[in-house]
Amino acid sequence: MDDVLNSPEIRRHTRAVLALKEKARQAEAGLAFILADLGDELIAAKRVLDRAKDKKVFLRWLSEHVKFTVKSADNYMRIARLRKRLETGFQSFARVPLGALYEIASLPEDLAAKLAKDPRLPSPSTGKLTPLEDMSERDLKKALRAFRGRRGRGSSHRPGPAGTREGLARDAIAQVRALADVLGSVNDGNGKLTSDAKSEVLDAIEDLRKVALHWKAWVTPEKGKRIV
């Protein structure tokens, strides 16, 4: 068997597979930058179209002219904003799976910057500190959710069963109320907001609204009817 694996023909195939594997990794790294460029163009187009009287013209442009869903466009614009904020630090995420890159782009700015400086997280599979690019997309998404969740630990909230949906809901209540206070201070603060900052705030609020309204077990307190 060892002789077969070391035969000239198999060794040639081995070299070819390894070369193509590296080529695929390089292409994957390049894709992150291409999507960031794409996001930059979408942001620029949105800035122009947002001045139009028709407030849905950007959505029409997405669907009719460039054939993007709103979700895809949002993801690409987040990647572009992430690159703009991190500059050279964006390279730390160039080789992560695409689905995980979307998750990273939605992290709070301070967490994304922290992760860019040390792009490693505990692996859900092994518990060991692992480079992001060495984890599967599934494991990396789990690790990112845990990384995001650690920020809220230790905050004061009403007691709830730890690890249950009730406990998580109590955490969410505390964080959403804190967010409301922060947004109020943004509105009342000094200076001007850039259009990018305004867009990001509105995108984040829209994400929160979508998540809340798509809970499978969401029921209104008054009538007991599911929100659709």
Average of per-residue pLDDT values in the chain: 80
Q: Residue 211: is its pLDDT beyond 50?
A: yes
Q: What is the pLDDT of residue 112?
A: 93
pLDDT attached to residue 61: 92
Give me the pLDDT at residue 214, please: 61
Per-residue pLDDT band for 193 (boundaries 50, 70, 90) equals confident
Rounded CA-CA distance 63/78 in Å is 19
Tens-place pLDDT, residues 98-148: 889 999 998 988 999 999 999 999 998 888 999 999 999 999 999 998 898
Q: Which range, of 70-74, 82-86, 165-169, 195-199, averages the lowest pLDDT? A: 165-169
* pLDDT over 80 at 96, yes or no: yes
Kindly report the pTM of this predicted structure.
0.60
Residue ranges per domain, the chain? 2-117, 165-213
Q: Which of 125, 105, 128 is nearest to 116 (CA)?
A: 105
- Average the pLDDT over 184-188 and give the result: 69
Cα gap 122→119, rounded to integer Å: 11
- Cα distance between residue 33 and residue 202, in whole Å: 24
Long-range contacts from 22-28, C-beta under 8 angstroms, 24+ separation? 25/95, 28/94, 28/95, 28/98
**Whether residue 183 has pLDDT greater than 80:** no
Give dist(CA 104, CA 81) in Å, integer. 11
What is the mean pLDDT of the segment spanning 196-213? Answer: 73
C-alpha 223/C-alpha 216 separation (Å) is 17
- Which is it for the CA torsion 12, 17, 20, 22, positive or negative? negative
98 vs 3, 93, 124, 164, CA distance in Å? 40, 10, 19, 29
CA angle, residues 83, 86, 89, in degrees to nearest 5: 100
Give 35-53 pLDDT, tens digit per residue: 999 999 999 999 888 888 8
Is the pLDDT reported for residue 91 higher than 60? yes
Q: What is the pLDDT of residue 159?
A: 41
The confidence score (pLDDT) of residue 217 equals 52
Over pLDDT 90: what percentage of the chain?
29
Between 17-26, 143-152, 160-169, the lowest mean confidence (pLDDT) is in 160-169
- Of 110, 63, 75, 103, nearest to 89 by C-alpha is 110
State mean pLDDT over 145-171.
60
Q: What is the pLDDT of residue 21?
A: 77
What does the pLDDT read at residue 162?
44
Whether the pLDDT of residue 29 is over 80: the answer is no
